[in-house]
């Protein structure tokens, strides 16, 4: 198994809606592994869908047993607030005084430039990742710095080296963790695990057998 450690540095503000509190739209501190898989160009989705519904299973399941991307944890992160204005568009005009197009305001809490994240890419074959990727709703420019790791497979207890998607981890490996609510599927951080893993320095590791998994139905 080829394991690549990736450091992602934002060169532009990054926005995605993890939480919506009234008119505050807030990006979280973690990057989901589905989004990273698309951003690396490892999964492809057509530009047009007749229905505005994501097709994660259709796009990601072909990667099983070939490539897997973990969620990313913040190594250094700051936020910034942006105010935006929007208004109702009046598309139908009758021969009477039109209603006023009254603007409204919202705020977006974005990850600021120079925030840095770490994730891991596991590949059955040698893999060349792009130097630059685009992330989030604004397609924010992000630098990718990679290190190929020389790791050994071990068995026993360890602390996960990064956040994990619990759907993708083999059964009975997770022992304790912090749940991070994050659409489209919650992830876990600070996970303590047991079982076969790829050993990293400091008692950390990555579970063996991670692969994209989606509930049936």
pLDDT digits (tens, 9 = 90+) for 144-171: 999 999 999 999 999 999 999 999 999 9
Could you give the domains of the chain?
2-46+56-85+104-207 (3.30.70.3120)
First-residue to last-residue Cα distance in the chain: 31
The three-state secondary structure class of 59 is helix
Alpha-carbon gap, residue 94 to 102, rounded angstroms: 18
The tokens of 178 are what? 């912090």
Burial class (CB in 10 A: 0-12, 13-18, 19+), 212: buried
> Is 101 within 8 Å of 93 (Cβ atoms)?
no
Alpha-carbon gap, residue 119 to 56, rounded angstroms: 19
- Which residues, other chains included, contact 176 with Cβ-Cβ below 8 Å and sequence gap of 6+? 191, 192
Planar angle of CA 39, 44, 47, nearest 5 degrees: 100
In the chain, alpha helices (H): 33-39, 56-60
Say what the pLDDT of residue 107 is: 86
Neighbour tally for 71: CB within 10 Å: 25
What is each CA distance from 198 to 106, 126, 167, 176, 211, in whole angstroms?
45, 17, 19, 19, 15
Q: Each residue's pLDDT tens digit in the chain (217 positions)?
A: 999 999 999 999 999 988 888 788 889 999 999 999 999 999 987 776 677 788 899 999 999 999 999 999 999 999 999 887 765 555 545 555 555 555 577 888 999 999 999 999 999 999 999 999 999 998 999 999 999 999 999 999 999 999 999 999 999 999 999 999 998 999 999 999 999 999 998 889 999 999 999 987 5
Alpha-carbon gap, residue 210 to 38, rounded angstroms: 17
- Which residues, other chains included, contact 147 with Cβ-Cβ below 8 Å and sequence gap of 6+? 4, 5, 7
Cα-to-chain-centroid distance, residue 84: 24
């Amino acid at each position: 198994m080829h394991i690549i450690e990736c450091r992602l540095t934002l060169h532009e503000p990054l926005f995605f809606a993890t939480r919506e509190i009234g008119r505050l739209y807030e990006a979280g501190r973690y990057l989901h592994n589905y989004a990273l898989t698309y951003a690396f160009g490892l999964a492809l989705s057509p530009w047009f869908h007749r229905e505005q519904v994501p097709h994660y299973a259709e796009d990601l399941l072909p990667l099983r047993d070939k490539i897997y991307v973990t969620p990313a944890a913040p190594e250094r992160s700051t936020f910034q607030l942006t105010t935006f204005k929007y208004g109702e568009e009046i598309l139908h005009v009758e021969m009477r005084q039109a209603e006023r197009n009254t603007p409204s305001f919202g705020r977006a809490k974005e990850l600021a430039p120079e925030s840095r994240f770490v994730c891991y890419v596991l590949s059955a074959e040698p893999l060349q990742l792009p130097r630059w990727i685009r992330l989030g709703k604004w397609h924010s420019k992000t630098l990718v710095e990679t290190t190929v790791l020389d790791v050994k497979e071990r068995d026993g207890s360890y602390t996960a080296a990064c956040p994990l998607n619990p759907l993708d981890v083999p059964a009975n490996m997770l022992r304790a963790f912090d749940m991070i609510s994050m659409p489209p599927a919650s992830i876990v951080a600070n996970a303590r695990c047991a079982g076969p893993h790829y050993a990293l320095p400091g008692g950390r590791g990555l579970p063996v057998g991670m692969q994209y998994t989606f509930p049936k139905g």
